[in-house]
Structure 1
Amino acid sequence: MEIFFHGQSCISFEHNGKKVIVDPFITGNKLSDLNADTVEADFIILTHGHGDHLGDTVAIAKRTDAKVIGTPELCDYLSAKGVTNTHPMNIGGNIAFEFGKVKYVQAFHSNSITEDGEIIYLGMPCGLVFTLGDKTVYHCGDTGLFSDMKLIAERHPVDVCFVPIGDNFTMGTSDAAYAVNELIKPKVAVPIHYNTFPYIEVDVNDFVSQVNTQVEVLESGQSVSF
């Protein structure tokens, strides 16, 4: 199994012949290796609706007819933008799609977008647990540290965890390392959501030095295999 990192919180993989992309923030993402006009997807999966996660979802979905999976509020918002192929999910839901299973789990963050001076609420922010064959991948989404990460990992022992480390809006390096070491305990940890903007510039080595499991620090376009 191979999962690619594309800057910020965007990851992609192919399983059972289906192409999946998570949080496709491409345009305006200085770290992205992708082109929003050419990237292919059968499924787009969203953790929440902030611009650096919702990203190019509308354009990609309209061009590829990818099914967009998100909270009900996000799906309603996207439907109003002309995206017709959506699948609403909420925290606790665990649904099998052609590529594998995805479960929505909690994340502690905010979730809205501002348009024409109006703040639009887009539902709860979420993390994602993927079951891909006999492998489990946990994408934490944007979140602070919370103790139920341990419960999530006990229910779904994690092979690879994508964990935000950029501080300011999410966990910083110390809290992220604690989450990995004490709560999630994945076989492999991959840091995400850092160094894209000045607010979230951190030294990734500070995270690596605190973690007691395998860490894969990926540049955009690189992948982790497991």
Structure 2
Amino acid sequence: MNKTPSEAQSFANLLVNELVGIKSFDIYVAPPFTALDRVREVISSSNIKLAAQNMYYEDSGAFTGEVSAKMLKDLNVEAVIIGHSERRKIFGETDELINKKIKKALNEGLTPIFCIGETLEERQKGLTFCVVEKQVREGFYGLSREEAIKVVIAYEPVWAIGTGVVATPWQAQEVHAFLRKLLSEMYDTEVAQKIRILYGGSVTPENWFGLFVQKDIDGALVGGASLKESFIELARIMERVISK
């Protein structure tokens, strides 16, 4: 919940100018619902794609305050973040609800950016793999092989979000490798390799290189750093690594 429509529009202009020409990876911005239309106008002819921060699984009805997939599609939104830890913790979203949202997003042609991750207490108790496995299995419940490939997973250890604490490259890679193995068991090796798995959790230009060079980390779900010019630095780091 950052940036007014005017602020988001101004920042989108900056991003378009600074990130022009990058084609080696996908760049998405996910402004608040109130800024989607203005940002869409700015990025419409650029290499930057539009995402939303959330959506509901019904098309319409008595769901005051909610936004549907069809509403997002009409704004040329291409992806939507689903199950972010803040939605789970603050707004009580369950794995069952998140699964419904993922299925609806896929049915409407939106790319779900499906967030998973453990709390500090769960990590300290050695439950990390149990927690993320349950989240993945329930989030992917009922998805065909073809549908599963279209999902983007974002591993965001809750203890590293907005805290300034970041998982070490080894900690992040360990979980990402576990997720690949899990997906290969649920589907097959091809699906596991095709699904993009992002890391999210206090990503900054200072720590991003060590994370991005890990074998199973395909990109980042950027939080606070996406609100300022450090987002541009992160993209340039990715571009340099990929080019080499």
Q: TM-score range by the shorter chain?
A: 0.3 to 0.5
TM-score, L = length of structure 1: 0.40
Compare the two structures and name the one with the higher strand fraction. Answer: 1
TM-score, L = length of structure 2: 0.38
Compare the two structures and name the one with the higher helix fraction. Answer: 2
Higher-RCO chain (CA-CA 8 Å, sequence separation at least 6): 1
- Asked which structure has the greater CA Rg, the reply is 2
